[in-house]
Amino acid sequence: MKLYMQKRCCGIIAVICLVLIVVFVLNGCQGQKEKNDLPAASKSSFLMDTIVSMKVYGEKPDKVIEEAFQRMREIENEMSVTLKSSYIYKINSNPGEPVKVDSDTFRVIRKAITYAEITDGNFDPSIRPLVSLWGIGTENARVPARSEIEEAKRLVNYKLIKLDEEEKTVVLQKPGMGIDLGAIAKGYAADEVRRIFKKHRVEHAFVNLGGNVLVVGGKPDGSPWVVGIQDPRRERGSVMASFKVKDKAIVTSGNYERYFEKDGVVYHHIIDPKTGSPARTNLLSATIICDDSFDADALSTSVFVMGVDRGLELVESLNGVEVMFINKDLEIILSEGLKNKIKVLNQDFKLVGNDNDEQI
């Protein structure tokens, strides 16, 4: 059995990968004349189970970066599913008991439940029993027996998470249930990093939490950032398309992030709560572009589970949200607002369903 945990690589390998991500995901940030010769700083580190990198232009950029990393560490400590001191660990270890949580954790759980409602349970923060059963991204990854999947599935139901707004408590109503915020916490963290940037009047910056990219303003020379979309078939940093943005969150969920292969079948880390198994759409990745990373993160996981038809329908019903799907035939499917905005860099990929082929 082959086991892949791209996001868990650490140490030197992580740092090397990181350089690639910065260069390719946001290419063009080097070699430009920088506005007023603004001071700039960048940093990368392994955090929230992934590689986090950021670049900040403005006064005292090192200080801003330190504060941003401190905030992300705080969020990780509150919401990690494995850290014994986290609120999520406490909730999961005390089913039936109201567990008092901090305002960050409460907000993220509440938002996750809202997305569960919007997506009719395709996104479900109570997915933990299925995630731990499959163990994808851990040393215990395996294909469980049908009976085990059925048993774990019965414990996955966001309607059994009860929130008390006044007391800021969370109760899991069935023993064995568990919350997992892996599909949304990084999005929240990216928005919190942006809040810190704004507090320090930073007008040009980006943060990338392992595929959750958020850009502030444009580049210091006034031009937009150029964001690259990961080629789902290739090593991290290989870009197959790009587009230009200012002030946006861009989040990709892909079947290549964490997976293992057994008997020629790829089992990835995004679970369809209805089947209890990795989502079986014909997608390689789904990228959401909108104003807030919190929404983009929840939605990219959601539409990956829902597939192209239902995913597009959901995205088109929401204001200011765009999506780019890549399917297994290497076709690119775009929401209306993205048409003619994507530059395809690798001719293996074909835009489909577009009114005209013009590209920027």
Nearer to ligand ADP, 131 or 283 (CB): 131
What is the phi-psi region of residue 256: left when phi exceeds 0, alpha when psi lies from -120 to 50, beta otherwise? alpha
**Cα atoms in the 13 Å half-sphere on the side-chain side of 194:** 22
Q: Which of 127, 312, 321, 332 binds ligand ADP (CB under 6 A)?
A: 127
Report the 10 Å Cβ neighbour count for 125. 26
Minimal distance, residue 253 CB to Mg ion, in Å: 5
Q: Is 183 annotated as a binding residue?
A: yes
Work out whether 257 is an interface residue with ligand ADP (CB under 6 A): yes
Residue nearest to ligand ADP (CB): 182
Per-residue tokens: 107? 């907000």
Counting DSSP H helices and E strands in the chain, the numbers are 8, 20
Work out whether 293 is an interface residue with ligand ADP (CB under 6 A): no
Work out whether 253 is an interface residue with ligand ADP (CB under 6 A): yes
CA–CA separation, 39 vs 42, rounded Å? 11
Query: Can you name the residues that pair with 214 across neighbouring β-strands?
Result: 207, 249
Residues numbered 302 to 321 that lie near ligand ADP (CB under 6 A) are 305
Q: Is 180 annotated as a binding residue?
A: no
Burial class from Cβ neighbours inside 10 Å (0-12, 13-18, 19+) for residue 235 reads exposed
Residues numbered 12 to 41 that lie near ligand ADP (CB under 6 A) are none
Q: Is 301 annotated as a binding residue?
A: yes
Nearer to ligand ADP, 64 or 299 (CB): 299
CA–CA separation, 115 vs 112, rounded Å? 5
Partner whose footprint covers residue 257, from ligand ADP, Mg ion, none (CB < 5 to 8 Å by kind): ligand ADP
Report yes or no: 193 and 45 within 8 Å, Cβ to Cβ: no
Work out whether 88 is an interface residue with Mg ion (CB under 5 A): no
SS3 85: coil
Partner whose footprint covers residue 231, from ligand ADP, Mg ion, none (CB < 5 to 8 Å by kind): none
CA–CA separation, 154 vs 174, rounded Å? 10
Annotated binding site for Mg(2+): 183, 297, 301
Annotated binding site: 183, 297, 301
Q: What residues make contact with Mg ion under the rule CB under 5 A? A: 183, 297, 300-301
Q: What residues make contact with ligand ADP under the rule CB under 6 A? A: 123-125, 127, 131, 180, 182-183, 210-211, 253, 257, 269-271, 273, 297, 300-301, 305
